[in-house]
Chains A and B, each alone.
Chain A
């Protein structure tokens, strides 16, 4: 591995961690989850329980859920 490639892997790692920490990857995780549950639905009998939310809808829904279900922060 060249130095440049090493730096790139490092930067990518930091970016991945930061995104995970701040929760930026939430939509990607939701889409992956939705795809997985649709796949099993195709094989089974059920239809997809919910239509896939768009990115904008998803984030609105996420903060709205926080409104209804507040979480404490520690002291």
Chain B
């Protein structure tokens, strides 16, 4: 088979020791270390396996009245460790085949700016901050309606076999190609048709994802003077930080981030005061449509302002908050260890009638939870900044695979937070206003009418919780963010401050999510604008010049209008918004994953590694089956709750029959809105699935062609001799320690410096 060819194309000119010291460890030595099972190592891995196994038994088999949250954390961490140590090592050995004698783009293209070798631990944090956003926090919350077990299994097993594999492969392949983007790699590997389809799909998917993230923020801020004030204040705070860095103290990022953080906390506390005032209730109590327009206008302005003024400073705040809050939640969950009183698998898993997101477990669990298990969007990050900053090839496992495991852990914690709140409150918050009527009485009647065992919601539970978290009402606060915020405040108040602090923690969580969603909206609009300008430039060359103001503004306006239209559609949707649009978000994200994995499969096939092709084909096949079947259900299902066109037909028929109200739509206008919305959503589903099928087919074609030709070709950049050394993982292995000590002991004048250009 093709595997034999690998030795012939090893770049023989590369040396392990180009100057004074080795830049790479001997592969035999590395292998020997991995294979040497000392009693201590055996004991540690046995303990990890036993603890992991016990945790899974507690979750999946024992199923007492309640289950403790700590078992989720242990099951996740132990499985990640095993997956990282054994499966990612297997992928490294057989597919990735890193060679530390080869210089990375950060070394051979070093410019001290975009290409700069970065410490692996710092880069891990960087990469994690870039991939983890609101997605892993929202999806698991919505999937909690299916019970705790399906989401947990998918997040943990999915990340080990699919999500982390995708991130790792894309990161490494992009690094071997000088940091080329996914779109460029698709063009190189799949040809013009596949490449163009991948590019269009990426653009459309970007628009959908930005729109739905904006919808999540809109839902969190509607009817909430406190939230509007504190999140609104992030804008002047960021502007102040931007000016401080530009004009007063350039480069003092940590300093201004700490100042910004203090101001942010002040804004949250201030929001509580404003909430109680007359003018707060008059001017800041805004409905969804107003907020949505606010975000659209904001999105346009933010995307045309210079980066230094708004985007860069908010990025610093967002990173600061992200790492801090996630760390805090992890510590709180471990200390508080909340008891979870939710069935392992709920009836909605098979009936498909869940009020939060419609559809049965298969395939809708796998599109509701995208980020955290498998997220195609990561492929854009892993083929963006990160590959240009990696010091040594062997570090891609720690950064790519390891970084994704961290995101998965965030998703598990979000799931735990959502599961820890009362189930009645959970359904009251996450059922659309179309079902609850938006009132406490309506919500109580609806939730108790669901016939869930152990759920007995009373009006007081809802009003008390609303008072505790400082909101007017918590009924039908869909989108996941408010539920997560209630869960986080419920856990945190047990650790710090008690019930009186709940409102602070709630708005802290809302702020934390809004912060990085707004950054994602701004950055996503910018990226989409550049992609659009690049494509338009093929027909109108003037658009290629991205500093041409009218062109930039027009392209930005087009992109904002695109996601703004979807956002407004979601906000005004008589059927609820999140429950109809969120599947589209998940499908879009997973289809992007399928595209990324298809490109990876073509690359692996071209290198002749057919024996190990299943490592890529397995997650690709799964993602393809899930997303294509979910798309087909959305397009062809005859159940109106699931199929967009079935819904469309039902409402159109009702209109034709002269009815003036139908289902949850109270009047003709709302009925017409449903007809319009479902048509747009259905057409979007068709576009996605057609583009993805094209990409997957071209990838299969490229794979078969490579197999027929017994290919061992490569589209990688030429190998360049490395002159620097750095360890691969978070902790140095004994052989790495020895070599590192030699490098540390090297006199300064002998230290090999990275050459420029």
Contact = CB atoms under 8 A, between A and B. Distances in A.
Interface of A: 15, 17-24, 26-27, 29-37, 39-40, 49, 55-56, 58-75
10 contacts: A15-B254, A30-B113, A37-B755, A60-B250, A63-B312, A67-B307, A71-B385, A72-B384, A73-B523, A75-B375
Given A40-B753, A55-B250, 6 more contacts: A33-B111, A33-B116, A64-B308, A65-B113, A73-B520, A74-B380
Contact of A70 (B250, B320, B523): B523
Interface string B743-757: 000000000011111
A70 B529 CA distance: 10
Contacts of A55: 250-251
Interface string B236-253: 000000000110001111
A72 B381 contact: yes
Interface stretch (B45-53, B119-127, B419-427): B119-127
Nearest to B323: A21
A72 B112 contact: no
A52 B754 CA distance: 17
A72 B524 contact: yes
Interface stretch (B130-138, B443-451, B686-694, B708-716): B130-138
The 4 closest A-B pairs by CB, nearest first: A37-B756, A33-B112, A20-B122, A36-B753
Given A22-B316, A59-B251, A73 B133 contact: yes
B118 interface: yes
A73 B130 contact: yes
- What does DSSP make chain B's interface, helix, strand, loop or mixed? helix
A60 B320 CA distance: 22
Interface string B130-156: 111111000000000000000000000
Nearest to A28: B251
B439 interface: no
Interface of B: 110-114, 116, 118-119, 121-122, 125-126, 129-135, 206, 209, 213, 245-246, 250-254, 257, 306-308, 311-312, 315-316, 318-320, 323, 371, 375, 377-378, 380-381, 384-385, 516, 519-520, 523-524, 526-527, 529-530, 546-547, 585, 589, 753-757
A44 B256 CA distance: 42
Contact of B530 (A22, A37, A70): A70
Nearest to B525: A70
B547 A19 contact: no
Contacts of A37: 112, 755-757
A73 B319 contact: no
A58 B76 CA distance: 43
B644 to A, nearest CB: 22
B133 A63 contact: no
Given A63-B307, A75-B371, A21 B523 contact: no
Nearest to B136: A75
Contacts of A72: 206, 377, 380-381, 384, 520, 523-524, 527
Contact of B756 (A18, A40, A68): A40
Contacts of A64: 306-308
Contacts of A32: 112
A32 B257 CA distance: 25
Nearest to A56: B250
B381 to A, nearest CB: 6
Contacts of B530: 70
B496 to A, nearest CB: 21
A43 B417 CA distance: 61
Contacts of B206: 72
A73 B519 contact: yes
Nearest to A37: B756
